[in-house]
Structure 1
Amino acid sequence: MEDIRSAQQALEEARRTLDAAVQAARAQGSTWAQIGEELGMSRQAAFKRFGRPVDPRTGTRIEPRSVADVVGLTERVFTLIAAGDYETLMPLLHPQAARELTPDVIAETWRRVLAEVGTLQGAAGTHVELPGGGAVSSDDELVGTVVGATTLECEAGQVHGRVAVADDGQVVGLLLVPTDHGPLPF
């Protein structure tokens, strides 16, 4: 158990060291593109992971969200859709998204899923992706729009489910596609 504790402490220290190195590089004039290239991710992914944007209205830092929050929201959205609980689902959607993603549109889309693979049994492999790529660890804090991605396990097959989540925690997009679908729009 001591090895596990020691490894966890080393991982936490490495994360703090990396964050400090990124902040120092920014202070010295490095661009997000340069930092992203060094880390093997896009400039947007680097910014979402390490950026510290300030709300121009209040002058306060835009608070990051945890990966766990986005994972939980992603699974909750699909559970609510499968249950037909639009009264609980709709307030989770950004008002602009809710204008297009009406309960009728969502219900019809889910009906098509049911016709192909049956009822939802659960979600597997739920994780968070950054636009433009870039790894996300479960301990990262995120700003801006991110995507919760999961595999929906249904009684006769699987479907990929994706939820775009804005920096305020509201859902701005939903996507349900077959597992063999090609490139995804988000």
Structure 2
Amino acid sequence: MADAPRTLSDLGALLAEQASTLAQAVGSPVTPPDYLNLVRRAQDVDRLAEQVLKLCVQQCRDAGHTWQEIGDLLGVTRQAAFQRFGKPIDPRTGEPMDKTVRMADAAERAIKVVTDVLEGRMDEARQSFNAQVLEAFTDEVRGNGLATVTGLVGAFEGFGEGEPFVRRIGDHTVVDIPLRYEAGDMKARVAFDADEKVAGLFILTPETP
């Protein structure tokens, strides 16, 4: 879709057309639809809706609205809204920062690292650490950190609802993973550096930006 329209009016019209086509493809209760075709069409609608949302947010910002207002409307923090829709300028180059996530398996790798750390398989976890984390993340640091979390929310019970949230922040790929504890929810945050090594690992409250 190299020649896809970029104005909000054109995108909105195309979205309405694709949504209408999807509705028609559902068919009647008597005739089962082609379900794989439905998935493909729904995916097209989802992608176009994301373009419409991004352009709406951009125009909202151009009109003077704050990231706090946009975040409140979307039910996220202002930082989360900025990370999703903002266009930060790299102070080193003066150019827009590349927000493309290139680690296709970032979520899966982050889940494995968190699982290994929580279950005490540190030899396996450390294979993913960069030099700084490898030096700093000792068994004592791990134990103290988990003890602090346990004191706040009790025992770890498993991964929480929702998919991992993957995004690129500066030179790092960052993954947030919902966690479920005995007395509350938390989230694990794993940051990968440009070499795809773990550059940071934290357990945070869900509202932490």
Could you say which TM-score interval applies, normalised by the shorter chain? 0.5 to 0.7
Equivalent pair of 1:55/1:61 in contact (CA under 8 Å): yes
Does residue 1:49 correspond to 2:84, yes or no? Answer: yes
Bigger RCO of structures 1 and 2 (CA < 8 A, at least 6 apart): 1
Does residue 1:28 correspond to 2:63, yes or no? Answer: yes
Return the TM-score normalized by structure 1: 0.58
Q: Which residue of 1 aligns with 2:178?
A: 149
- AA paired with 1:90? F
Unaligned runs of 5+ in 1: 130-139, 177-182
* Percent of paired sites with the same residue: 27
More strand by share: 1
Q: Which residue of 2 aligns with 1:84?
A: 122
Structure 1 position 22, deviation (Å):
0.9
Rounded to whole Å, the distance in 1 between the matches of 2:188 and 2:97 is: 25
Structure 1 position 44, deviation (Å):
1.7
Structure 1 position 98, deviation (Å):
5.9
Does residue 1:164 correspond to 2:184, yes or no? Answer: no
- AA paired with 1:31? T
Deviations 1:110-163 (A, max 9, x none): 79x9xx98xxxx96756335xxxxxxxxxx7554766322459xxxx9x97742
Deviations 1:28-79 (A, max 9, x none): 3221112122323222221122112122112341424379655223212134
RMSD (Å) for aligned C-alpha atoms: 4.4
Rounded to whole Å, the distance in 1 between the matches of 2:73 and 2:114 is: 36
Equivalent pair of 1:146/1:166 in contact (CA under 8 Å): yes
Rounded to whole Å, the distance in 2 between the matches of 1:44 and 1:66 is: 21
Rounded to whole Å, the distance in 2 between the matches of 1:87 and 1:172 is: 12
Unaligned runs of 5+ in 2: 1-34
Worse-superposed segment, 25-34 or 72-81: 72-81
Return the TM-score normalized by structure 2: 0.53
User: Which of structures 1 and 2 has the bigger CA Rg?
Assistant: 2
